[in-house]
Amino acid sequence: MTPLLPTRGAAARPLAPRPTLRDTIDQSFAMAWRALIKMRRNPEQFFDVTLQPLLFTAMFTYIFGGAVAGSTAGYLPIIIPGILAQTTLTACMATGIQLREDMDKGVFDRFKSLPIARIAPLAGSAIADLLRYSIAATLTILVGIAMGYRPGGGILGVGAAWLLTVFAGWALAWVFTWLGTIARSAQAVQGISMMIMFPLSFLSNAFVPTQTMPGWLQTFVSINPVTLVIQAVRDLMNDGAFTANVGWAVLGCSAVVAVFAPLAVRSYGRKM
């Protein structure tokens, strides 16, 4: 038998009392690298972010276009930002489900036994999933353009809207990541996520103008972070305007991260 690596003495190196910020970032990127390899080996993980933009954009535009905006072409500036938000939200939901499945595997025992930051396994998948949100956002915009959408905000506006969408996806994913750490099974995460995802995406300004909704519903719609994001995306894409709505959207998403990221890390830590 060839010699193994010699063991280091117990007192050979000083022990770090906790991971530094630098360590945490390095470890998160190492975990993201792992997640990207897994995505490459399981390309079916990309179905939701590739098929949904193609299908939903065409479907909603042709179904609601005439009824809501008088014509399909007139509806595109309203619906494309809506579909952007909805598709990204669906992609976030998958983040939580996949995390739950992942956590049930033996390799997570090793992650827990390693001297790494507790947030690293969660942050790693959050970073890798940026790729999924990017694909979803890019495809939705391209399909819109192919259907005749001509965003008034120009390249800068569209680029900013794209960035905001990906950021919003990353931020809202922490809600589902938290669900992933508290639920008992991947099925449970899926079930609960659906119940959250549907109200968030449909009780918003994504598909129809909100004026015809009852007052109490308008109140919910107006504080729904998805509404804020969609409004900001419309301002950016259609007018190229960095309005207060953009600020509110970024603030709203940051608030979601500030609340749910610590919750997720805490419940992940307690699971062990």
Residues lying near other proteins in the complex (CB under 8 A): 1-13, 15-19, 23, 26-27, 30-31, 33-34, 37-38, 41-42, 105-116, 120, 272
Q: Which lies closer to other proteins via its Cβ, residue 110 or residue 223?
A: 110
* Residue in the structure block whose two tokens are 């997570």: 108
Q: Which lies closer to other proteins via its Cβ, residue 4 or residue 67?
A: 4
- The distance of closest approach from Cβ of residue 183 to other proteins in the complex, given in angstroms and rounded to an integer, is 19
- The distance of closest approach from Cβ of residue 271 to other proteins in the complex, given in angstroms and rounded to an integer, is 10
Q: Which lies closer to other proteins via its Cβ, residue 69 or residue 120?
A: 120
- The distance of closest approach from Cβ of residue 19 to other proteins in the complex, given in angstroms and rounded to an integer, is 7
CA 224 to chain centroid, in Å, comes to 16
Give the ranges where the chain is alpha helix by DSSP (H). Answer: 21-41, 47-69, 72-103, 107-113, 120-146, 154-182, 186-202, 215-223, 225-234, 244-270
Q: Which lies closer to other proteins via its Cβ, residue 59 or residue 272?
A: 272
Quick check: 230 and 81 in contact, CB under 8 A?
Answer: yes
- The distance of closest approach from Cβ of residue 117 to other proteins in the complex, given in angstroms and rounded to an integer, is 9
The rounded distance, in Å, linking the Cα atoms of 168 and 181 is 20
Q: Which lies closer to other proteins via its Cβ, residue 14 or residue 214?
A: 14
Kindly state the greatest CA–CA separation across the chain: 78
Residue 236: phi, psi to the nearest 5? -70, -50
Quick check: 245 and 235 in contact, CB under 8 A?
Answer: yes
- The distance of closest approach from Cβ of residue 125 to other proteins in the complex, given in angstroms and rounded to an integer, is 13
